[in-house]
Amino acid sequence: MLDKYLFQPGEVLPAENVDSIDPDNVIPQAAGYLTGGTGHSDLSVFQALGAGANNGKIKINVDGTEYDNVGIELLNNYQGLNEVIVSSSAQSFSGAGNANSFNSNILAKIYSISVTADNWTAGTRTLTVRQGENINGTILGTATAAGGAGGTTSLTFTFGSPIILQKGQTYCWVVDGSQNIRYDYRTPASSYGWGDVSLGNRYNGTTWLSGAAQFTITGDKFLVLDSYSKIATLLQSSIRTATGKTETVAYNTNKFVITSSTANRSSQILKLMTPSTGTDISGAGATPYLDMADNATETQGTGEEYRIVRLDSNG
């Protein structure tokens, strides 16, 4: 092509509907981005929101498409969702009731609880999770599981909605809601090497055919919000879930930066807006939070219409 048109490197060839053709001046297209202000909330403000309402939301316009009520899970699992958090013994003694109390520690949500025994009698069982370490606490969620036929040894109780826990609080699960429960003070929980979720005073269990039953809790862990970078990671995950693309969010020295996944002139992240529901953490409301509204700076992608470039041998 260059020989045919006697086109030399460094020269510009005019063309219809084209700004220029300049093989020696290749300008890669860059994505647009939004740079927040430096007046965002202290880390403690985000931590308090995560430990409380945990319903921070934003409204965002990404590359011309608006997404409302994008939720930021400040009690998310930084290492992956829906994993087995603890697998421990549920002691079986004389008395009534099949139950166990536990301290949440880093457990943020419960999706399901599986209980394994030597055998289950046939029928449908109900498992209830309550606030506190006895059956007088508020019910937080219930789930049912059917088993017993064919020598069932494990039942998994899956909750319709995740049960939200507060860090450091004590809870209990109870199978079939037995009313006669007492503590097993003879075998302190501290003598067992249980994992991330410590158990408090364990209840007595009786209907297992022999020995101790086992149980596992599947859920999410608390994300320890000890840096703004972790908040950026959660925000990035939420935006990507809403858009189905690969936007990036980073904390750069003293501000948040959101970058589009599209590298062309139409890519842009507009200043964040107040969502229709939930706690507004955009910075557009009364609390500065992310400070990505009025004080933010928008940068559009650098691609141009009708710009034709030719890459060299290095691409």
Burial 183-222 (b: 16+ CB within 10 A, else e): ebeeeebeeeeeeebbbbbbbbbebbeeeebbbbbbbbbb
pLDDT for the residue numbered 172: 83
Strands annotated E in the chain: 33-35, 56-62, 65-72, 83-90, 98-103, 107-116, 123-131, 139-147, 154-164, 170-175, 213-221, 248-252, 255-259, 279-280, 297-299
Q: Answer whether 133's CB lies under 8 Å from 181's CB.
A: no
Measured between alpha carbons, how far is residue 204 from residues 64, 167, 194 in Å?
59, 25, 18
pLDDT for the residue numbered 37: 97
pLDDT for the residue numbered 51: 63
Strand order in the sheet with 279-280: 65-72, 56-62, 279-280
pLDDT for the residue numbered 14: 55
pTM value?
0.56
> From first to last of its 315 residues, what are the pLDDT tens digits of the chain?
444 555 566 666 555 444 455 556 666 778 999 999 999 999 989 888 876 666 789 999 999 999 999 988 776 544 445 666 665 655 443 334 567 777 777 677 889 998 876 666 677 888 899 898 777 789 999 999 887 666 667 889 999 998 988 777 888 888 774 433 333 333 433 333 333 444 444 444 444 433 446 778 888 777 678 899 989 998 998 999 999 999 999 999 999 999 999 988 889 999 999 999 989 999 999 999 999 999 999 999 886 654 555 555 665
pLDDT for the residue numbered 48: 81
Taking the CA atoms of the chain, what radius of gyration do you get in angstroms? 28
pLDDT for the residue numbered 169: 84
**pLDDT tens track for 127-136:** 899 898 777 7
Q: How many CB atoms lie within 10 A of CB 83?
A: 12
